[in-house]
Amino acid sequence: MSQGKARAIAYGVVALFGVAAVLFTKPLPPGPRAASVLTPAATPVRPPWRERHDTVRTGETIVGVLARGGLSEVIAREALKAAKTLDPRRIPAGMRLVTRAPHHDTIPTEVILRLAVDRILHLNRGDSGWTAREELLPWTIDTVVVSGTITSTLGDAMEDAARDLLPASARQQLVYTLAEDIFEYRVDMSRDLQVGDRFDVVTQRRRLGDGFDQVTRIDTVFGATMTLSGKTTQAVLFRSARVAGIYFDQDGKPMRSGFLRNPVSFRRISSGFGMRRHPILGTMRAHQGTDYAANAGTPIRAIGDGTVIRAGWHNGYGNVVDIRHANGYVSRYAHMSGFAKGVHGGARVTREQTIGFVGSTGLSTAPHLHFEVLVKGVHRNPRSVLANVSADPIPASERIAFAEARTRTLAMLETPARLASAESAAAKQAGSPQP
């Protein structure tokens, strides 16, 4: 056989083996995709910071809290030295803070402390040590109108009307303002409200958002209306230079009585005005006032402006204060544990001024305030007589200014763009166009 023919046969055999290898060899499983084929958008981005959110617990020191965040006691004290306005010994329980460290460092380089709801303190570690910077967070302020219809209580109506605009705490504050600050002497919220009655209120809303959380508060309430059984009472914010009071009705009459309704924050009325069996003497006798059960030490307020005519011990009353007011009214506060500074015979006191503190002196079985009202020397039921004492109306010299304030308030209340009405909230959820 020639050399050329032998070479050709050898090449053919090699080719046959190559084809067989391709046909009978199992394919390899697919391997991992090379990193080079990943697009930049798909590459996981590692956060540049490691953060730890914490809260100062009762009995803790700020140094101890920072230790949980990775700062040794020495470094923590160095950081706190930079905060000239911060006293580490007076850190309140509940203060929130954040420690931040870059991923390439084991020790935090920033500490953020929430000094107040709108004040943040930044402590930063640099090449030259720690520095402090205080930040005042800006509030976003706007005005909202809340309108609701009574189905059961004022609180439930407020919940339905303002759920999307105000957090629970702000809704509760608005209910309290309406019930206690504005309509206290005009509407008994537990008895007078009926299904179908309405309220409208215009208030200033303050919102703040930061790295800790979102805060929403109500600020000034400019005015409100209550419609009970078809009759509407307006309340307008107006600060008179001549008469006391903050809110006035559509006729310029003050919304509040001339006196406080209750001189103390109390748990319950333990005894009312009228005949009763005396808890110590055991005999039936007239109870000439109202007893307010309250914790010992609770501040007692003067119900109105006046002059102290007695401040001292008086028989079964124990420590007692008598105050003479205008038009023949005298208020009496008994069983006090003690008197406020400056309260003595002849002293002038003002409405809501603290005159003493709840106690159980004299003929008393437990801490409470025994409160009396005398009108021209005759005992009267405090619960009824105080509600009917009207304060001075807007004087003629301020009537034009009051009318302008009332017009502005009603314009806000009657605007078609009700930001918080139950009707517009429902329409929004249904996808209807808003006015």
Angle between helix 154-162 and 422-430 (nearest 10): 40
Most confident residue range from 121-125, 255-259, 377-381, 429-433: 121-125
Q: Give the model's pLDDT for residue 258.
A: 76
Q: Give the model's pLDDT for residue 307.
A: 94
Reported confidence tier of residue 245, pLDDT bands at 50, 70, 90 = confident
The pTM is what?
0.60
Helices (H), 154-309: 154-162, 168-176
Is the pLDDT at 20 greater than 60? The verdict is no
Reported confidence tier of residue 3, pLDDT bands at 50, 70, 90 = low
% of residues, the chain, pLDDT over 90: 53
Q: Give the model's pLDDT for residue 312.
A: 95
Assigned token pair, 117: 């709801």
% of residues, the chain, pLDDT over 70: 79
Q: Which residues contact 128 (CB under 8 A, 6 or more apart)?
A: none
Q: Give the model's pLDDT for residue 8.
A: 54
Radius of gyration for the alpha carbons in the chain, expressed in angstroms and rounded: 37
Q: Give the model's pLDDT for residue 145.
A: 94
Q: Give the model's pLDDT for residue 385.
A: 81
> By mean pLDDT, which of 42-56, 302-316, 357-371 is the weakest?
42-56
CA separation for the pair 209, 303 (Å, rounded) = 40
Average pLDDT over residues 46-51: 71
Half-sphere exposure of 350 (CA within 13 A, CB side): 1
Q: Give the model's pLDDT for residue 28.
A: 45
Assigned token pair, 221: 């309430």
Q: Give the model's pLDDT for residue 16.
A: 52
Average pLDDT over residues 4-22: 52
Cβ atoms of 419 and 165 within 8 Å: the answer is: yes
Reported confidence tier of residue 36, pLDDT bands at 50, 70, 90 = very low
Count of Cβ atoms closer than 10 Å to residue 321 Cβ: 27
CA distances in angstroms from 38 to 35, 41, 178, listed in the order given: 6, 8, 61
Q: Give the model's pLDDT for residue 391.
A: 75
CA separation for the pair 82, 110 (Å, rounded) = 12
Instruction: Identify which has the larger pLDDT, 12 or 335.
Output: 335
Average pLDDT over residues 271-297: 67
Beta strands in 68-151 (DSSP E): 96-102, 110-116, 119-126, 129-136, 140-149
Most confident residue range from 32-36, 54-58, 182-186, 379-383: 54-58
Helices (H), 82-212: 154-162, 168-176
Q: Give the model's pLDDT for residue 386.
A: 80
pLDDT in tens, 135-178: 999 999 999 999 999 999 999 999 999 998 899 999 999 999 99
Round the average pLDDT of the chain to a whole number and report it: 82
CA distances in angstroms from 257 to 116, 220, 262, 269, listed in the order given: 36, 21, 11, 20
Domains recognised in the chain with CATH numbers? 49-136 (3.10.450.350), 139-256+391-435 (3.10.450.350), 268-388 (2.70.70.10)
Instruction: Identify which has the larger pLDDT, 294 or 428.
Output: 294
Is the pLDDT at 429 greater than 70? The verdict is no
Q: Give the model's pLDDT for residue 18.
A: 52
Which amino acid is it at 144?
A: V
Cβ atoms of 146 and 165 within 8 Å: the answer is: yes
CA distances in angstroms from 311 to 25, 29, 237, 342, listed in the order given: 111, 98, 36, 10
CA separation for the pair 418, 149 (Å, rounded) = 14
CA separation for the pair 70, 80 (Å, rounded) = 15
pLDDT in tens, 170-215: 999 999 999 988 998 788 787 789 999 999 999 999 998 765 667 8
Average pLDDT over residues 404-426: 67
Instruction: Report which of 153, 166, 362, 354 is spatially closest to residue 265, judged by C-alpha positions.
Output: 354
